[in-house]
A and B are shown apart, each in its own frame.
Chain A
C-alpha cells in the first residue's frame, strides 16, 4: 500500500475512533439514541476524512484540497444549529427543562468535537505521512486523542463549590433551606409531601469565581435538570409545585437546592449535583481582574 493511502486510512480510523470515544461521555448529558449515535459517527467520519487528506494533499501540491477544510467548518456550524434546534424543540416535553444555556453548551460541544476529530486525523495522518511509518502515526494519534478528551472535559460543580446536604423547614406557607427562602406553598397537601419527601442541598462556592458561576440562572437550571434526570422527579405536568428550585443567598453567594426526588438517597443527590458540568456560558473569573480581586478582600 502506498504512503498516501496508509496515512489517510490511519487518519480516518483514528479520527472516527476519537469521535466514538467522545460520544461515550454524552450518555448523561444527552440521550444517545441509536440514530443519534449513527448521525454523529457519520459526521465524525466525514471530519476525520477531511483532516486525514490535508497533509498528503499539500504534499501532492494540491493546495485547493485544503479549502475543503473551510467547507468543513461551515458544515460543523450546521451541526451546532441542528443540535440547538432539536434540543429546543424537545424542551417542552421535559418535566424539568434544560434551559437555553445548557442547550447552547451542548450544541457548542458537538461542534467542537468535530474539530477535535479533525485535529486527531491531521496529526495521525500527517506524522504517518512524514515519517513514512504508520506505527509512528498511531503512536502520536493515541496520545492526541487522550489530550483532546482531557482538554474538553471541563470542570464540574464539585470543583467550584462544596456540596453538602441540608435541612428544610416551613415558616407558615414559606419553605426555607437553612436561611434561604425557596418559595411559598399554599396548599397543606403539597406542604405535607415536601415535609415527607423533599431533599435539600447547599452549595458553598470556594471563591468569588465559584460564587459568580452559581449566580448564573442558566447554571442553576442545568443543575436542576441533571439532578432531576438522574434521581427522578416527583411531579407531573399538572403539579408545577414540585419543580426543583435553586435559590441564592445574595449576601454569602451560597445556593440552596430543594427537590422532591423519586430516589430519596441523599448521598446520590450530592453526587449528582457535584457532577453537573460548569457551563461555558456561566464561566466567569472576576478574580482574574484587578477590580474583582481587590473587591474580594
Chain B
C-alpha cells in the first residue's frame, strides 16, 4: 500500500508572538505585510492560504 502525505501545513504567517509552533513561522509586522507574505508563499509553494480566524494564516499543500 502506498503511504503518502496528502495534506501538509508548509508554513504559518502571523502577526502575534508565540501563537504557532512546529512549522516554519513567518512573523509580519502588520496585517498588510501578513497578506503579502502569505500571497507570496502561496504562489511559491503552490499552496493555499487558510485563515484560522485568530490572526494566523497557514499555508497548506492540498
CA A170 to CA B62, docked complex, whole Å = 21
Q: Which residue of B42, B48, B51, B61 is within 8 Å of A172 (Cβ)?
A: B51
Interface size class of B (residues with CB under 8 A): 10 to 19
A-B contacts, CB under 8 A, total: 46
Please, which residue of chain B has its CB at the minimum distance from the CB of A173? Answer: B51
CA A187 to CA B51, docked complex, whole Å = 8
B13 vs chain A, min Cβ distance (A):
9
Asked if A187 and B35 sit within 8 Å, CB to CB, the answer is yes
A175-189 interface (Cβ within 8 A of B): 183-189
- With contacts A237-B46, A241-B42 taken as known, whether A189 is within 8 angstroms of B53 at the C-beta atoms is no
Asked if B49 and A187 sit within 8 Å, CB to CB, the answer is yes
CA A172 to CA B55, docked complex, whole Å = 12
Q: Which residues of A contact B38 (CB under 8 A)?
A: 186-187
Asked if A173 and B42 sit within 8 Å, CB to CB, the answer is no
A236 vs chain B, min Cβ distance (A):
9
A89 at the interface (CB under 8 A from B): no
B39 at the interface (CB under 8 A from A): yes
A202-246 interface (Cβ within 8 A of B): 237-241, 243
Q: Which residues of A contact B (CB under 8 A)?
A: 172-173, 183-190, 237-241, 243
Q: Is the interface of B mostly helix, strand, loop or mixed?
A: mixed
Q: Which residue of A173, A188, A189, A238 is within 8 Å of B50 (Cβ)?
A: A173
Asked if B46 and A187 sit within 8 Å, CB to CB, the answer is no
Q: Is the interface of A mostly helix, strand, loop or mixed?
A: loop
Q: Which residue of A172, A189, A240 is within 8 Å of B47 (Cβ)?
A: A240
Asked if B39 and A172 sit within 8 Å, CB to CB, the answer is no
- With contacts A172-B53, A173-B51, A184-B51 taken as known, whether A189 is within 8 angstroms of B46 at the C-beta atoms is no
Q: Which residues of B contact A172 (CB under 8 A)?
A: 51, 53
CA A183 to CA B49, docked complex, whole Å = 11
CA A18 to CA B27, docked complex, whole Å = 65
Asked if B46 and A186 sit within 8 Å, CB to CB, the answer is no
Q: Which residues of B contact A238 (CB under 8 A)?
A: 42-44, 46
Q: Which residues of B contact A173 (CB under 8 A)?
A: 50-51, 53
